[in-house]
Amino acid sequence: INDLLSLPVIRANIQSLNCSNCLDVLKLDCTGCKKLKTLQPPNGLLALTCSDCPGIAVLPQHLNNLKYFNCSNCSGLTALPTLSNNLGGLFCSNCPGIAALPKFPTSLRMLFCDGCNNLVTAILPEALRGSHIEKMLIRYCPKIQITYV
């Protein structure tokens, strides 16, 4: 298990997942874990997909190395953690509990935010206003106000 780099989670009735001691896991996919409520990923994680996990309300704050993050269709999610300075892609769609997105790093290249009806605030670095971001889609977020700092 020391050479394990990717950990797909078996979509059963899993309610809690703690793999914080799995130091070599770089990619974690918990898509469709409908009963998952708590998630403790490893500190060195580079990619996290926890889409279609309606039971997750809060994500851990220690996602320091994350480059890719997908939390789409997490209806119970109320906030996103502080985003890694290395984050390149964020996919956050159909998350009605999220009212604000944290400040984005200048490393961000892809942002998809769709159908987050209660999303009010998104703070983007001024550097992303130009051509630094490759793909950005923000739609069906009727209350959103984007601020560049």
**H helix intervals, the chain:** none
pLDDT tens, residue by residue, 10-52: 556 677 777 777 766 688 888 888 888 888 888 788 899 989 9
Q: What is the pLDDT of residue 114?
A: 92
Residue pair 91/74 in contact (Cβ under 8 Å)? The answer is no
Strands (E), the chain: 6-8, 16-18, 27-29, 38-40, 47-49, 68-70, 89-93, 100-101, 110-114, 121-124, 135-139, 145-148
* Whole-angstrom distance, CA of residue 83 vs CA of residue 105: 7
- The Cβ of residue 21 has, within 10 Å, a number of other Cβ atoms equal to 9
Q: What is the pLDDT of residue 136?
A: 86
Q: Which band of pLDDT confidence, cut at 50, 70 and 90, is reported for residue 8?
A: low
pLDDT tens, residue by residue, 82-126: 888 899 999 999 999 999 988 888 888 899 999 999 999 888 777
Percent of the chain with pLDDT over 70: 85
Does residue 70 have a pLDDT over 90?
A: yes
Q: What is the pLDDT of residue 122?
A: 86
* Whole-angstrom distance, CA of residue 35 vs CA of residue 51: 12
Residue pair 83/90 in contact (Cβ under 8 Å)? The answer is yes
> For residues 10 and 53, which has the higher predicted lDDT (pLDDT)?
53
- pTM here is 0.84
